[in-house]
């Protein structure tokens, strides 16, 4: 008794020639993510001196180190929330525009500039002799220039500029994914713009906004160049990536550096899981016109 050939049986389980196409991606993932991750994990557990947990004990025992978590969160969370809060209304407006592409291009431009370029520009623009202060002084709103660089606000502004396009693009795609007839239906049923937003759009958008939040947050949490260039890297903007960098490349303790990098990932994971977990309280199915 012979069944169908092996090839057919494998194909029935979803394994055929096409399956091979995942191989390059898989190799890439293993080489560039899985292997470095486990390398770092092992590295962090084999400290220069002390037990396997010595690096972690050191980190959580030294306020100069563990305070970086708070400093980074204090930058990344507000920036992410504000970016999202801006992205939603802007995306709502852009959705209805005819020249969508032009405006989208302008809004997305900052992504292409790179953080260093933006930081350099902001140093000049927001600096004590920059246009921003000049203008406010000239109008008479200020008596003395306000300090917006080499402190928290410089990094904050830079993160807003580089993070917004990202949050905006994602939000726009989620909003465009909602069948316009759903809004029209709500309107004909007596819902004004405010009710249409709060009762129809927002509940349908929450899952997408949660994903956007996570991606934007992770991006902001990993801030490094602008924290150094525009911030006060020894003070309030001593973010966690600076701590990792200093441990690995200034104190030559790559094991401690790996441990800090893993702690960084752990904090991101906690925030991401919390946000995605909250998503389960909302509807998560398709938001288009459903067809029978």
Partner 1 sequence: MNSVANAVASTRSNARLELDGLSRSFGAYNALDGVDLAVEPGEFVALLGPSGCGKSTALNCIAGLLALSGGEIRLGGNRIDQLEPEKRGFGMVFQSYALFPHMSVRKNVGFGLAMQGVKGAEADRRVNEALALVRLESQAEKLPGQLSGGQQQRVAIARAIVIRPPVVLMDEPLSNLDAKLRLEMRAEIRGIHDQIGSTTIYVTHDQDEALSLADRIVVMSQGHIAQIGSPQDLYQRPINVDVADFMGFRTRVPGRIVAVFGDEAEIDVAGARIAGTMRTPLKAGDSAILSVRPEDLIAAEEGIAATVASMEYRGRAFFGLARTADGSELYFRADEALPRGASTRLKPLAQRALLFKDATR
Q: Which is nearer to partner 1, 129 or 194 (CB)?
A: 194
For partner 1, the closer of residues 24 and 192 by Cβ is 192
DSSP at 175: H
Q: How far apart are CA 41 and CA 97, in angstroms?
A: 49
If one asks whether residue 182 binds partner 1 (CB under 8 A), the answer comes out as yes
* Residue 189 found at the interface with partner 1 (CB under 8 A): yes
Residues in 11-50 at the binding interface with partner 1, rule: CB under 8 A: none
- For residue 111, give the DSSP letter: H
First to last CA, the chain: 43
Binders in 258-287 for partner 1, by CB under 8 A: 282-283, 285-287
Task: Name the segment binding partner 1 (CB under 8 A); options: 24-32, 42-50, 124-132, 189-197.
Answer: 189-197
The span from the CA of 86 to the CA of 235, in Å, is: 29
CB 256 within 8 A of CB 247: yes
Q: How far is the CB of 279 from partner 1 (least distance, A)?
A: 13
Radius of gyration of the chain (CA): 24
Distance CA 80, CA 213 (A): 7
Stretch touching partner 1 by CB under 8 A, among 11-19, 63-71, 99-107, 181-189: 181-189
Nearer to partner 1, 189 or 269 (CB): 189
Is residue 179 at the binding interface for partner 1, with CB under 8 A as the rule?
A: yes
Total chain residues near partner 1 (CB under 8 A): 26
2, 18, 188, 280: residue in contact with partner 1 (rule CB under 8 A): 188
Least distance CB 191 / partner 1 (angstroms): 5
Q: With contact defined as beta carbons under 8 Å apart, do 243 and 65 qualify? A: yes
Closest CA relative to residue 167, chosen from 108, 124, 226? 108
CB of 206 to partner 1, least distance (A): 9
Which residue do the tokens 């690995």 mark? 248
Among 113, 187, 222, 276, binds partner 1 (CB under 8 A): 187
Q: Could you say which residues in the range 197-226 bind partner 1, by CB under 8 A?
A: 199-200, 203-204
Beta strands in the chain (DSSP E): none
Site for partner 1 in 119-158 (CB under 8 A): none
Among 280, 258, 286, 220, smallest CA distance to 56 is for: 258
- Closest separation in Å from C-beta 178 to partner 1: 9
Q: How far is the CB of 291 from partner 1 (least distance, A)?
A: 6
The DSSP 8-state label assigned to residue 17 in this structure reads G
Task: Quote the CA–CA distance of 63 and 176 in Å, as a whole number.
Answer: 46
Chain contacts with partner 1 (rule: CB under 8 A): 179, 181-182, 184-192, 195, 199-200, 203-204, 282-283, 285-287, 289-292
């Amino acid at each position: 008794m012979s069944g169908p050939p092996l090839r057919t049986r494998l194909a029935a389980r979803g394994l055929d020639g096409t399956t091979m196409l995942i191989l390059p991606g898989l190799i890439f993932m293993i080489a560039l993510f899985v292997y470095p991750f486990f390398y770092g994990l092992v590295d962090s557990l084999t400290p220069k001196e002390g037990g396997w947990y010595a690096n972690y004990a050191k980190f959580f025992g030294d306020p100069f180190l563990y305070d970086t978590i708070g400093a980074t969160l204090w930058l990344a969370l507000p920036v992410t929330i504000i970016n999202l809060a801006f992205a939603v209304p802007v995306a709502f407006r852009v959705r209805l525009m005819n020249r969508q592409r032009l405006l989208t291009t302008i809004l997305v431009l900052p992504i292409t500039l790179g953080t260093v370029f933006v930081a350099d520009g902001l140093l000049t623009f927001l600096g004590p002799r920059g246009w921003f202060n000049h203008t406010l002084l000239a109008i008479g709103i200020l008596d003395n220039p306000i300090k917006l660089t080499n402190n928290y606000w410089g990094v904050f502004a830079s993160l807003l500029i580089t993070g917004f396009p990202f949050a905006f693009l994602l939000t726009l795609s989620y909003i465009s994914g909602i069948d316009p007839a759903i809004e029209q239906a709500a309107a004909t049923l007596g819902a004004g713009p405010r009710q249409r937003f709060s009762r129809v759009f927002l509940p349908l958008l929450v899952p997408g906004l949660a994903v956007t939040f996570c991606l934007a947050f992770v991006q902001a949490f990993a801030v490094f160049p602008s924290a150094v260039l525009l911030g006060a890297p020894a003070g309030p903007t001593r973010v966690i990536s600076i701590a990792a960098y200093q441990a690995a490349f200034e104190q030559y303790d790559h094991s401690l550096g790996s441990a800090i990098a893993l702690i960084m990932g752990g904090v991101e994971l906690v925030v991401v899981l919390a946000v995605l977990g909250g998503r389960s309280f909302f509807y998560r199915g398709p938001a288009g016109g459903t067809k029978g």
